[in-house]
Amino acid sequence: MFNPDTITRFNNTETPFYYYDMGVLNQTLQACHNASAKYGFHVHYALKANFNPKVLDMVRSFGFGADCVSGNEVKAAVEHGFSKTQVVFAGVGKSDKEINLALDTDIFCFNVESVQELYIINELAKAKNKTAKVAIRINPNVDAHTHHFITTGLDENKFGVNTWQLSEVIEALRACPNIQFLGVHFHIGSQITDMEVYKSLCIRINEIQTWFEDHGFTVKVLNAGGGLGVDYHNPDTNTISDFESYFKVFKDFLNVRADQEVHFELGRALVAQCASLVSRVLYVKNGQKKNFLVLDAGMTELIRPMLYQAYHEIENLTQKSQPQTRDLKYDVVGPICESTDCFRKDVDLPESFRGDLIAVRTAGAYGEVMASGYNLRDRVQSVYSD
């Protein structure tokens, strides 16, 4: 990702910024496309991971659909050329305004997360003389074995419908003439790398779709969500997630009926490795027990380490091209007036100096999109390899 010419270019670029390697993005999207197309699977890109305009344009060019969780994401998807027939709209708290926008856009499907939401969508669709296509998001109670802040498929989670509420769902579907039932939707969490988890999900999907069929409903769409993880520790040697193994699990263990579609909603796995946050050392503070590198980027630019205790590889780009110097341990911190504004503690780095360029790797997912203006900070900029 970082060759000498690129680093030289950075020397004349104001920091901090997100650096997008469009070649890495292209290779990742191609790998996902090839692996999913082998089985005729449909992939929707989760805009919440990264809605940088150039990223959206490249994702759309591969023919993927869009997975949206707000009205503005629905708008952005359509404005960037995603087909409205490939737009799905999830979210536990869709407002009336957002539902109306999606109805007017004639999107492919609402992923409905409560019985009450079914009635609301039906009421709003009726007022427009429209029929809303829906999939029911169900909590399969499958443990994703990931950080508890990004686990979403367990019982008593704010997302989705619990299995003991399915009889209420059936009752609501039969009572809502402006609703068309398409199928079932699942999302069990994020940053999942254990394929056994997805095998367990397949078993639950098979059981739940049979339950709907037994109650007289045709399940046209099986939406397995996303959550496939990436290797945060080895961004250069393991850049592209194992899409082949991921999709093969669903091919092997999902009971797909004739004329049934299988859909996925991938975000992080498509974009995480294509971007790094590039920052500059403002100050080096040497203490008796601790050394600190104070960067010009902080939690306002990348909040994942502070919010999820997320790990990111950190590199000193300036010293990379210099003769080997001694390594020191540093706490790599930002300039924000919060004690939690720390990217990582005790990082082994070459001896570092004011002005050195530092890269925080694998920041393409939930990085730029979560940036804030806290402390009235300037909005972080983007730089592209092309």
Q: For the segment 329-370, what is each residue's pLDDT rounded down to a tens digit?
A: 999 999 999 999 999 999 999 999 999 999 999 999 999 999
Beta carbons of 49 and 59 less than 8 angstroms apart? no
Beta carbons of 48 and 83 less than 8 angstroms apart? no
Give the domain-ending residue among 253, 272, 291. 272
pLDDT, average across residues 212-219 = 96
pLDDT, average across residues 241-246 = 98
pLDDT on residue 144: 55
Domain of 320: which CATH number?
2.40.37.10
Domain of 230: which CATH number?
3.20.20.10
pLDDT on residue 152: 44
> What is the tally of structural domains in the chain?
2
**Same domain, yes or no: 242 and 348:** no
**Same domain, yes or no: 31 and 70:** yes
- Helical spans, DSSP H, in the chain: 4-11, 22-37, 53-61, 71-79, 96-105, 115-127, 166-175, 195-214, 243-253, 268-271, 304-308, 317-320
What is the reported pTM? 0.93
**Same domain, yes or no: 277 and 266:** no
Structure tokens at 168: 């209420």
**Same domain, yes or no: 32 and 181:** yes
What domain range includes position 341?
4-17+273-384
Given pLDDT bands bounded at 50, 70 and 90, which one contains residue 149?
very low
Q: For the chain, how long is the longest CA-to-CA vector?
A: 73
Q: How many angstroms separate the CA atoms of 71 and 53, rounded? A: 17
Of 220, 125, 126, 134, which is closest to residue 173 (Cα–Cα)? 134
pLDDT digits (tens, 9 = 90+) for 74-126: 999 999 999 999 999 999 999 999 999 999 999 999 999 999 999 999 999 99
Give the domain-ending residue among 255, 272, 289. 272
pLDDT on residue 4: 86
